[in-house]
Structure 1
Amino acid sequence: MEQHKFNVVGLHSGSVYEDIRTFIDKFHSMNTRSNYERHIRNFFVWFRGKQLEQLQQEDMPIRNADVIKFQLFLRNHEADYSNSTINVIMAAVQSLYEFLEINEYNVNSKFAKVDVLPDDSESAGALYYHEAEAMANTVMTHRKGHEKSAFLRMAYTTSLRKSTLLNIKWSDINKNPNENHYLVSVIGKGGKKHIVPIPDQLYNELLLIKEQEYYQQYKDNKVFHLSKTTIQNMMDTLKEQLGLSAERNITFHSFRNVAASYGSLEEVQDHLNHSNINTTNKYYRHKTKDYSQSLSLRMGKEIDNSIFNELSKEELISLIMNQGAGAILNMQKEAQEIMNIKGVV
């Protein structure tokens, strides 16, 4: 019986799909396999207009110009892919072509190589609430001012990405029963459903867009109708008007960072719809560190709390209002709790 143990053989069709499947399945991580399959599928849908299962040998040869065009396609995609994400996608395609060349396909894997894009993990500079609010107020004087202002307020209130904001429909916004706010339901990055509440006041600002004469031409149920070029020009003008230096590198993505000043790390993770809290911690905590509170400077400089007793009410209020947005919010919450205990609504 032992001699017949290996008599059963696999059925090998020798198809392109079977070989690509072999390449994908060689990775031990299920997550890696899933990601590589998705990236490679998307590439061939773009490149040949075919699913992996439909590919033939003659579909596989590639030019370097084709791969560069695909990289440019991803850079200009409405999904706002980061450079690091694009690098991962391109690496999957390159790795596949190395595998195909080794397995005697009529391809040259060096043609699949493109320049690695620079790390943009910290490309969006930190923006603070009072600055975001000033930008939303200032843009009211621009063409389509009501729409642009509401667009910016939605950006820093919901922390939704630009592409997601531009795809929001009126039917995606619904009143939360028995509550004084609305819920915005969207499909975010990676196809994840995400629900973000917005206050009544912001929803009313959105409704003002419908009252604009130019807006009557749109029948697609979308809330916003702003091109990427318009948004970029708006950002450039606002930074100049408000004197935001180029060194700070403020981009539209900076509005997504505003919420990082509020709440706990876990709350910010939920608000930003991050699967991994390390992403939240790495990219969305404001980078402007308060070095005045460093241990090396605090040693030997302890000040007694009685110093507050020497300040007038006006001086104390001024001191409070000059703190960071997150600190002010926490004090407001604690003040409200004190008022609630005292029975004051």
Structure 2
Amino acid sequence: MWQTYIKGYKSYLQLEKSLSKHSVEAYLHDIDLFSLFLNEKFPELSFEKIELEHLQQFLASASLQEFAAASQARIISGIKSFFKYLMLEDILKSNPTDLLEAPKLKRALPDVLGIEEVELLLSSIDHSKPEGQRNRAILEVMYSSGLRVSEAVNLEITNLYLDIGFIRVIGKGNKERLVPIGDEAVKYINLYKENIRVHQVPKKGFENTLFLNRRGAALSRVMIFYIIKEAGLNAGIRKNIHPHTLRHSFATHLVEGGADLRAVQEMLGHESITTTEIYTHLDRNFLRMTLEKYHPRFH
């Protein structure tokens, strides 16, 4: 019975929600965890008889306690999504997850680079190597336009409108957005295209991909992680930096400069303004530090 519903749920996630393969797998994994728990603890329990108490026992189970609060919250979100699908399909008449609460999460504020640190990071890349020009172009684009890692590695040549200073980005759920791109990023994209990319033979299927690895295919997310880690070490930056750091820094510098939050939301491709509001918290820290540094009564 489970497998029939899970199969339908998978189609729902792929076709109606337009989720990526990675997201679909994560959701299905959450349902697998729950079904294994029920089979072990309540083997006689029929599908329609699942109640809130069964879900709460699952949350309290040892298998789930091994996960961090953020992972538990994601698993609960996955289960809620599954039961919402069952309600939509009229498979269930009531939703046992309605009153199910996820663990309260502290919204962790990410490490952000100052403007000077971003300059240091970008200028630390060795341009004498062919991959150096490519790496500089990638990091310039990520900081200039606030791209997610997946958006940067999948950037396509036909989606570059550099003459008018825009790029078309394919974000989460295949949603497209037009994002402005700065002059420095445009300069380094052109240098990479004219000096490096033009001499590469793309693998089949990657002819339109802007940033290629040595084998002519798209770069992996892990590769971007190594590129930014190495640049950080070379620049002498001691903060814990990762690919998302440039995106966070992009948004923070905009908010600190007084940018409209809706405009930042649009550029980042956030579905909800509440996701963008994390940067107002970062901004408050910045304001506090400014007062402590310059106000005579704060010394």
- TM-score between both structures, scaled by the size of structure 2: 0.59
- Give the corresponding residue for 1:33: none
Task: Pick closer, same or farther for the CA change 1:156–1:137 going to 2, 3 Å.
Answer: same
Task: Pick closer, same or farther for the CA change 1:124–1:96 going to 2, 3 Å.
Answer: same
- 1:211 is paired with a residue of what secondary structure? helix
- Give the corresponding residue for 1:27: none
- Give the corresponding residue for 1:182: 165
Once the two structures are TM-superposed, the CA of residue 213 in structure 1 deviates from its matched residue by 4.8
- Give the corresponding residue for 2:201: 217
Task: Pick closer, same or farther for the CA change 1:186–1:123 going to 2, 3 Å.
Answer: same
CA distance in 2, matches of 1:172, 1:90: 34
The one of 207, 211, 235 aligned to 1:242 = 235
Are the counterparts in 2 of residues 269 and 280 from structure 1 also a CA contact under 8 Å?
yes
The one of 131, 146, 151 aligned to 2:133 = 146
Are the counterparts in 2 of residues 257 and 286 from structure 1 also a CA contact under 8 Å?
no
Are the counterparts in 2 of residues 124 and 250 from structure 1 also a CA contact under 8 Å?
no
- Give the corresponding residue for 1:268: 264
- RMSD of aligned C-alpha atoms? 4.3
- Give the corresponding residue for 1:252: 243
Residues 208-256 of structure 1 show CA distances to partners (whole Å, capped at 9, x for unaligned) of 21233574222622111234444333222222222211xx322110100
Once the two structures are TM-superposed, the CA of residue 154 in structure 1 deviates from its matched residue by 0.3
CA distance in 2, matches of 1:174, 1:252: 24
- Give the corresponding residue for 1:280: 276
Task: Pick closer, same or farther for the CA change 1:16–1:232 going to 2, 3 Å.
Answer: closer
- Extract unaligned runs of 5+ from structure 1: 1-13, 25-36, 43-50, 52-76, 303-345
CA distance in 1, matches of 2:120, 2:183: 20
- Give the corresponding residue for 2:84: none
Residues 13-65 of structure 1 show CA distances to partners (whole Å, capped at 9, x for unaligned) of x7953x559xx9xxxxxxxxxxxx359867xxxxxxxx9xxxxxxxxxxxxxx
- Give the corresponding residue for 1:291: 288
Once the two structures are TM-superposed, the CA of residue 258 in structure 1 deviates from its matched residue by 2.0
Residues 135-178 of structure 1 show CA distances to partners (whole Å, capped at 9, x for unaligned) of 22221446311111110010011111111111111011125xxx
CA distance in 1, matches of 2:234, 2:25: 33
2:111 maps to 1:128: no
Are the counterparts in 2 of residues 40 and 92 from structure 1 also a CA contact under 8 Å?
no
CA distance in 1, matches of 2:185, 2:290: 36
CA distance in 1, matches of 2:200, 2:6: 50
- TM-score between both structures, scaled by the size of structure 1: 0.53
CA distance in 2, matches of 1:281, 1:88: 26
- 1:139 is paired with a residue of what secondary structure? coil
CA distance in 2, matches of 1:39, 1:272: 28
2:33 maps to 1:94: yes
Are the counterparts in 2 of residues 136 and 150 from structure 1 also a CA contact under 8 Å?
no
Letter in 1 for 2:245: S
Task: Pick closer, same or farther for the CA change 1:292–1:208 going to 2, 3 Å.
Answer: closer
- 1:181 is paired with a residue of what secondary structure? coil
Residues 306-335 of structure 1 show CA distances to partners (whole Å, capped at 9, x for unaligned) of xxxxxxxxxxxxxxxxxxxxxxxxxxxxxx
2:134 maps to 1:173: no
The one of 228, 232, 235 aligned to 2:225 = 232
What percent of counterpart residues are identical?
Answer: 21
Letter in 2 for 1:116: F
Once the two structures are TM-superposed, the CA of residue 118 in structure 1 deviates from its matched residue by 5.8
CA distance in 2, matches of 1:227, 1:244: 24
Task: Pick closer, same or farther for the CA change 1:227–1:94 going to 2, 3 Å.
Answer: closer
Task: Pick closer, same or farther for the CA change 1:237–1:202 going to 2, 3 Å.
Answer: closer
2:150 maps to 1:163: yes
- 2:178 is paired with a residue of what secondary structure? strand
CA distance in 1, matches of 2:27, 2:273: 20
Once the two structures are TM-superposed, the CA of residue 290 in structure 1 deviates from its matched residue by 4.2
Task: Pick closer, same or farther for the CA change 1:281–1:39 going to 2, 3 Å.
Answer: farther
Are the counterparts in 2 of residues 259 and 268 from structure 1 also a CA contact under 8 Å?
no
Count of paired positions = 226
Are the counterparts in 1 of residues 169 and 177 from structure 2 also a CA contact under 8 Å?
yes
Residues 70-102 of structure 1 show CA distances to partners (whole Å, capped at 9, x for unaligned) of xxxxxxx996x7xxx998664344335556752
Alignment of 1:100-111 (within 5 A): 101=43, 102-103=45-46
